[in-house]
A and B are shown apart, each in its own frame.
Chain A
């Protein structure tokens, strides 16, 4: 019991401590590439702190759904974080079938985000909500296709085992499959976390946004909760992707941890580079982009079937 409590606290410390930093690195990379000095990589912490002090404003139209959503979303992300291992640090909660729980808790958060956007009763939020609902359907398709491939490769349905110690060994035998998994999962990461080329987290033109426009009406602590939750979500997805990418394990705890965090930093740099190097896709192109990712994932599945 005590071990579980300790491991939950450790996990939360990592995820709460590092996730804004992850976003900070991405923003810094984007700033540097576009020729600015950019804010400090710790800026997201200051933003969260500032938002905690701000006054709350609610719309007359909204109901309790709108007020409960930020807490539900953050709580969901905190619970999902417990199922994901961070490199060598094992997940406090792991059982056969936990990937399904991960996907469905993320869906729970999404459900409430969407209805809270619709709760404000304005077309902008409605647009964002509609797009979020559509793109997440396609992202779910790719996500589960990848889960299936990994599950067949390691013969387990637990996230800790799917991205755990066996994966580096797989690079030598089914490297081609893993490349397809990594690329398509990277697309899911970009989609689920509303990064360029699917969505632009920076723009202030409401018409072009998905996630940002859904939270137009949130303020103060609520907004801080939601921003923290999205930072955690990005961190979680990165933490799932990084162990699959890294093709070796040293076997020593500390060096493995260093490799993991170096990998996370590398991924943040990569996301920053992608965001700087690409423009946002037209909305009706996004689905093609996601379908290409699905085609990759499906091809990976077929190759796996053929190889085993």
Chain B
């Protein structure tokens, strides 16, 4: 089941021990695929920057990130894990600030660095508590063999949620994510969204694996976090005007879905339901892989759009399907997958999580049924909201007509799809994998079921897996049948109409003659009804003059959605912190000699402490 490689390493408490087990294999699979695809994409994407930026450094940090990601998911030692974790954070930071001549990019990078270190602080506490319990041993499998008292386990679990939750982007701790993702170049955003935030999920899975017995509230906490992150993530996404920021918020939603799966798995483990537990964990882990694939694809697609039009503002774009046929088709694949629609991979993992939650309704005690019910409803609403969000994205970016004058689509129109071949190939391979998991899910489902079983620690009866695999097989046949019916209907239409070419006219605009592309619904107007519905959570504000009187004057209007977690929780705290540190700064005395004396006194204190 697992393989451990141990190498000599001259670090106190550290062993260079790498472990391959079913859990890390799942993450490795996602890492290898996405690192290769994003790398290929980067070749094409970075071509315009050639000669202007240091490509060598970028490549160095890209490879460093890949290596550290692999180390993070394979490390079997606390010190090695933390080292790789830091390496990953730093490599990621340098990748984010690729466009370091822009002020916002540097700020976003700094915010990322701050956030990740706040998380690491909790991780230090958590690992020291663990090691303390395991009599000083720093190896994961030694720690996993020890017993934890329920209180200790609870404290460690909360610390893990805080520490890894910042990385993963659980809801109140997600504030760095929507800033850092749009700042980075697109192939790096794909890596961050697809993989870097998944290391947070990996960490939580690893803690669940180490703590064989967790208090029963842990599962409920994960379910609540999942539901709230998912719903808030997708609602915030709906309010965005910027393509990559929207995708970043969607990562929070998907992390929420993964947390729902983990929550069910954990509940199943706590209440001794091996199959339920394995299904929950398997759904979550499959969603980890799926999210890496389709979110990678979407970020890469967004990158192509931005490279071509030099803007990510959806309210300015439109009609790109005609000039970028490949990108638009591949983006559609990503959009369908992320909405969890049948035929693509998103549906498979969401179906498994749904099955886990529905099974939870039958096998858990009363409060478990209640929380599973809420989980099902929130997952369903997330699906519907994601659908609203991605129809908005696809409809406003790729369909209709281009909206703003400053996006010069005529310039692009002449040459069909001038997107670099490397970029197309990278996106195609990700889309192909989405389709593969969507249409032939058995390989991956079995793979993640094994991991789920490994995580739950108990094996379920072999014939129970059929409960999942047979419905999946039926689903695939229904979906294939749907395609056949679709083709049949297309043929029928052709038969009825003969070969007569249809008439091509303007869009019917209810008799109105002076048609302008600016009449179209923008992304903001499309999402407005939903955003206004949730305006108390979203801090939606809309400024501008209303239309008054029979002959209204020219006016302007702007609307924006602000992040409540950022505005209400973090910013006031941050402002107070700054004020406090200013005060301390004013009060300190400014003689170097005093500081030398402090150091000297401290040395004496240490000496006395050691001698005693």
- Interface presence of B506 (CB below 8 A): yes
Binds B, one of A121-129, A164-172, A233-241, A266-274: A121-129
- Interface presence of B486 (CB below 8 A): yes
Q: Are B401 and A72 in contact (CB under 8 A)?
A: no
- Within 8 Å by CB of A58, from B481, B489, B504, B527, lies B504
- Interface presence of A258 (CB below 8 A): no
Within 8 Å CB of A121, what residues of B? 318-319, 399-401, 507, 517, 520
Q: Shortest CB–CB separation between residue A257 and chain B, in angstroms?
A: 25
Known contacts A55-B503, A71-B486, A221-B496; 15 additional CB pairs below 8 A are A52-B496, A57-B504, A61-B507, A75-B482, A104-B342, A108-B336, A111-B390, A114-B387, A118-B391, A119-B400, A129-B526, A130-B521, A133-B388, A136-B388, A225-B489
Chain A 245-281: CB-based contact to B (< 8 A → 1; otherwise 0): 0000000000000000000000000000000000000
- Interface presence of A115 (CB below 8 A): yes
Q: Are B370 and A305 in contact (CB under 8 A)?
A: yes
28 contacts between A and B (CB under 8 A): A52-B496, A57-B505, A61-B507, A71-B490, A75-B486, A78-B485, A79-B478, A79-B485, A82-B478, A98-B471, A103-B383, A104-B383, A111-B336, A114-B395, A118-B394, A121-B319, A121-B400, A122-B520, A124-B510, A126-B526, A129-B391, A131-B529, A141-B381, A144-B381, A151-B358, A217-B507, A287-B533, A301-B373
Within 8 Å CB of A97, what residues of B? 351, 354-355, 358, 471
Within 8 Å CB of B497, what residues of A? 56, 220-221
Within 8 Å CB of B347, what residues of A? 104
- Interface presence of B467 (CB below 8 A): yes
The CA of A67 and the CA of B510, in the complex, are separated in Å by 21
Residues of A26-80 whose CB lies within 8 A of B: 52, 55-63, 65, 68, 70-72, 74-76, 78-79
The CA of A220 and the CA of B401, in the complex, are separated in Å by 24
Q: Shortest 4 CB-CB distances between A and B: which pairs?
A: A126-B521, A118-B395, A121-B400, A133-B388
Q: Are A105 and B342 in contact (CB under 8 A)?
A: yes
Q: Are B485 and A75 in contact (CB under 8 A)?
A: yes
Chain B 374-392: CB-based contact to A (< 8 A → 1; otherwise 0): 0011001101110110111
Instruction: Tell whether A57 pairs with B489 under 8 Å between CB atoms, given A101-B475, A114-B391, A131-B529.
Output: no
Interface centre among A62, A100, A123, A221 (most CB of B within 10 A): A100
- Interface presence of B502 (CB below 8 A): yes
- Interface presence of B591 (CB below 8 A): no
- Interface presence of B525 (CB below 8 A): yes
Residues of B within 8 A of A (CB): 318-319, 321-322, 332, 336, 339-343, 347, 350-351, 354-355, 358, 361-362, 366, 369-370, 373, 376-377, 380-381, 383-385, 387-388, 390-392, 394-396, 399-401, 467, 470-471, 474-475, 478, 481-483, 485-486, 488-490, 493, 496-497, 500, 502-510, 515, 517, 519-521, 525-530, 533
Q: Are B391 and A115 in contact (CB under 8 A)?
A: yes
Q: Are A111 and B387 in contact (CB under 8 A)?
A: yes
Q: Are A137 and B381 in contact (CB under 8 A)?
A: yes
The CA of A59 and the CA of B322, in the complex, are separated in Å by 14
Within 8 Å CB of B340, what residues of A? 104, 107
Within 8 Å CB of B388, what residues of A? 133-134, 136-137
Q: Are A130 and B351 in contact (CB under 8 A)?
A: no
Q: Shortest CB–CB separation between residue B471 and chain A, in angstroms?
A: 4
Closest Cβ neighbor of B527 among chain A residues: A130
Q: Are A107 and B471 in contact (CB under 8 A)?
A: no
Residues of A128-164 whose CB lies within 8 A of B: 129-131, 133-134, 136-137, 140-141, 143-145, 147-148, 151-152, 155, 157
Within 8 Å CB of A225, what residues of B? 489, 493
Q: Are A59 and B505 in contact (CB under 8 A)?
A: yes
Within 8 Å CB of B392, what residues of A? 133
Within 8 Å CB of B467, what residues of A? 96
Within 8 Å CB of B361, what residues of A? 148, 151-152
Q: Shortest CB–CB separation between residue B155 and chain A, in angstroms?
A: 32
Within 8 Å CB of A70, what residues of B? 489
Q: Are A129 and B503 in contact (CB under 8 A)?
A: no
Q: Shortest CB–CB separation between residue A292 and chain B, in angstroms?
A: 15
Closest Cβ neighbor of A110 among chain B residues: B387
Q: Shortest CB–CB separation between residue A290 and chain B, in angstroms?
A: 11
Within 8 Å CB of A118, what residues of B? 391, 394-396, 399-400, 521, 526
How many positions in chain A have a CB within 8 Å of any CB in the partner chain?
Answer: 78
The CA of A157 and the CA of B351, in the complex, are separated in Å by 12
Q: Shortest CB–CB separation between residue B470 and chain A, in angstroms?
A: 7
- Interface presence of A10 (CB below 8 A): no
Closest Cβ neighbor of B347 among chain A residues: A104
Within 8 Å CB of A52, what residues of B? 496
Closest Cβ neighbor of B377 among chain A residues: A144
Residues of A within 8 A of B (CB): 52, 55-63, 65, 68, 70-72, 74-76, 78-79, 82-83, 93, 95-98, 100-101, 103-105, 107-108, 110-111, 114-115, 117-127, 129-131, 133-134, 136-137, 140-141, 143-145, 147-148, 151-152, 155, 157, 206, 216-217, 220-222, 225, 283, 287, 301, 305
Q: Are B507 and A107 in contact (CB under 8 A)?
A: no
Q: Shortest CB–CB separation between residue A95 and chain B, in angstroms?
A: 4
Q: Are B493 and A71 in contact (CB under 8 A)?
A: yes
- Within 8 Å by CB of B519, from A122, A148, A152, A287, lies A122
Closest Cβ neighbor of B340 among chain A residues: A104
Q: Are B377 and A148 in contact (CB under 8 A)?
A: yes
The CA of A225 and the CA of B504, in the complex, are separated in Å by 20
The CA of A132 and the CA of B410, in the complex, are separated in Å by 33
Instruction: Tell whether A72 pairs with B502 under 8 Å between CB atoms, given A103-B380, A305-B366.
Output: no
Within 8 Å CB of A98, what residues of B? 471, 474
Within 8 Å CB of A60, what residues of B? 504-507
Within 8 Å CB of A131, what residues of B? 529
The CA of A221 and the CA of B502, in the complex, are separated in Å by 11
Within 8 Å CB of A216, what residues of B? 508, 510
Q: Shortest CB–CB separation between residue A260 and chain B, in angstroms?
A: 24
The CA of A78 and the CA of B492, in the complex, are separated in Å by 15
Q: Are A65 and B507 in contact (CB under 8 A)?
A: no
Q: Are B384 and A140 in contact (CB under 8 A)?
A: yes
The CA of A83 and the CA of B493, in the complex, are separated in Å by 25
The CA of A96 and the CA of B268, in the complex, are separated in Å by 19
Q: Are A57 and B470 in contact (CB under 8 A)?
A: no
Q: Shortest CB–CB separation between residue A58 and chain B, in angstroms?
A: 5
Closest Cβ neighbor of B481 among chain A residues: A79
Instruction: Tell whether A63 pairs with B322 under 8 Å between CB atoms, given A95-B474, A141-B377.
Output: yes
Q: Shortest CB–CB separation between residue B342 and chain A, in angstroms?
A: 5
The CA of A70 and the CA of B205, in the complex, are separated in Å by 44
Closest Cβ neighbor of A145 among chain B residues: B377
Interface centre among A117, A147, A157 (most CB of B within 10 A): A157
Closest Cβ neighbor of B355 among chain A residues: A97
Q: Shortest CB–CB separation between residue A283 and chain B, in angstroms?
A: 8
Q: Are B380 and A141 in contact (CB under 8 A)?
A: yes
Q: Are A130 and B387 in contact (CB under 8 A)?
A: no
The CA of A131 and the CA of B528, in the complex, are separated in Å by 10
Q: Are B502 and A63 in contact (CB under 8 A)?
A: no
Closest Cβ neighbor of B359 among chain A residues: A157
Q: Shortest CB–CB separation between residue A178 and chain B, in angstroms?
A: 17
The CA of A82 and the CA of B340, in the complex, are separated in Å by 21
The CA of A157 and the CA of B352, in the complex, are separated in Å by 13
Within 8 Å CB of B321, what residues of A? 63, 65
The CA of A140 and the CA of B369, in the complex, are separated in Å by 20
The CA of A108 and the CA of B347, in the complex, are separated in Å by 11
Closest Cβ neighbor of A134 among chain B residues: B529
Interface centre among A114, A151, A287 (most CB of B within 10 A): A114
Q: Are B400 and A58 in contact (CB under 8 A)?
A: no
Q: Are B400 and A120 in contact (CB under 8 A)?
A: yes
Q: Are A217 and B503 in contact (CB under 8 A)?
A: no
Closest Cβ neighbor of A283 among chain B residues: B529
Interface centre among A83, A131, A148, A225 (most CB of B within 10 A): A148
Instruction: Tell whether A93 pairs with B381 under 8 Å between CB atoms, given A122-B507, A221-B493.
Output: no
Q: Are A129 and B530 in contact (CB under 8 A)?
A: no
Closest Cβ neighbor of B402 among chain A residues: A121
The CA of A3 and the CA of B508, in the complex, are separated in Å by 47
